Amino acid sequence: LKLQLIKVEKLKAVEQMGAAISHEIRNPLTAASGFVQLLNDDYLPRHKRREYLSIVKDELQSAERVIQDYLTFAKPSLASIEELNVKNELKQIINIVTPMANQNSVEIITDFSVIGFIKGDRQRFRQCFINILKNAVEAMPNGGQLYIETNFSQDYVTICIKDTGIGMTSEQLERLGEPYYSTKGKNGTGLGMMVVYSIVRAMHGLIKVESELDAGTTFHIKFPTITLIQKSEN
Ligand code: ADP
Ligand code: MG
C-alpha cells in the first residue's frame, strides 16, 4: 500500500510539473506570437521590424530556458543571479504586456521616480511580473487603469501594481497562490500566482495584497535592495 501511495505521489508530481511547464511557456509564446502578428505588416518601418524580431527571439529563448530549467532540475532560486535595475526590467516587461493591455482597453500608468537595484534571476523576475500583470489585465475585461510604481528605500525596493478590476473577496484572497486555484474556468490554470510566490520567496522578497470586490487589487512586492556605488541612471 505504501509503495502504491508513493507511485501516486510521483505521478501527481509529474502531472503538476507538466502543468507548470506549459503555463510558464505559454507566457513567452503568447508574447512571441503577438509580435509575429505585428510583423505581418508590409508597411512596418525597418527599425520596428528589427525591434520586434529581437523581442520574438528573446521570448523564444526564454521559453527554451524554462524547459531547460525543468529538464535539468536546476535549482529555481540559483539559476543565474544578476544585479537587476528594477526600472529597466519593468520597462521591458511592460513592453511585453502592452499589446495585451491595448486589446483590453487597459491604460498603463507608470511612476518610476526612483531607481533601485536588486539581486535576482532576470528570467524569473520577468516571469513573476508578467504573471501578475496578466492577471491584472484579465481582471479588467471592460478596460481600466493599471498603475505600476516603484519605491526605493535603503533596505527595500517596493513595486506596486494596482488595477481597477473586479477585485477579490477575502475568501479568494486567502486562496491566492494555491496550486490550481483559478476562477477563470477553462481560461485559467491557477499556476500563475503559485509561480509568483515561489519566485518572490526565492528572491527573499515579500508580497502583500489588498483587494476590494468591484474596486480593484493592489500588489506590493518588496525585495531587499543592494547597495551599489556610483550607479547612475541611464
Ligand atoms: P489563473 O490566472 O490561471 O486563473 P493565477 O494563479 O494567475 O491563475 O491566479 C489565480 C486566481 O487569482 C485567478 O483565477 C483570480 O481569481 C485571482 N486573481 C489573481 N490576480 C487577480 C487580480 N489582479 N484581480 C482579481 N483577481 C485576481
Ligand atoms: Mg494568471
Task: Report pLDDT digits (tens) over 25-69.
Answer: 888 899 899 999 999 999 999 999 999 999 999 889 878 867 765
* Ligand nearest to C-alpha 189: 1
Cα(134) to ligand 2 centroid in Å equals: 6
Q: Is the CB of 189 under 6 A from ligand 1?
A: yes
CB 212 within 8 A of CB 198: no
Cα(45) to ligand 2 centroid in Å equals: 33
Worst-scoring range by mean pLDDT, 92-96, 122-126, 185-189? 185-189
How far apart, in Å, are the Cα atoms of 24 and each of 13, 176, 210?
A: 16, 17, 25
Q: What ipTM does this complex have?
A: 0.99
Burial label, 84 (beta-carbon count in 10 A; 0-12, 13-18, 19+): buried
Query: In sequence order, what are the residues at sequence separation of 6 or more whose Cβ sits closer than 8 angstroms to the Cβ of residue 9?
Result: none
Which backbone phi and psi does 225 adopt, to 5 degrees? -80, 145
Cα(113) to ligand 2 centroid in Å equals: 28
pLDDT for res 129: 94
**What string of DSSP letters covers 2-51?**
HHHHHHHHHHHHHHHHHHHHHHHHHHHHHHHHHHHHHH--TT--HHHHHH
Statement: residue 198 has pLDDT above 60: yes
Cα(28) to ligand 2 centroid in Å equals: 14
* Ligand nearest to C-alpha 195: 1
How far apart, in Å, are the Cα atoms of 220 and each of 10, 21, 204, 231?
A: 35, 26, 14, 25
Burial label, 137 (beta-carbon count in 10 A; 0-12, 13-18, 19+): buried
Cell of 83: 544585479
Q: What percent of the chain has pLDDT over 90?
A: 51
Worst-scoring range by mean pLDDT, 30-34, 68-72, 185-189? 68-72
Helices (H), 40-143: 46-71, 86-103, 122-138
Section 160-182 average pLDDT: 93
- The residue to mutate among 30, 182, 217, 218, having the most atoms of ligand 1 within 8 angstroms of its beta carbon, is 182
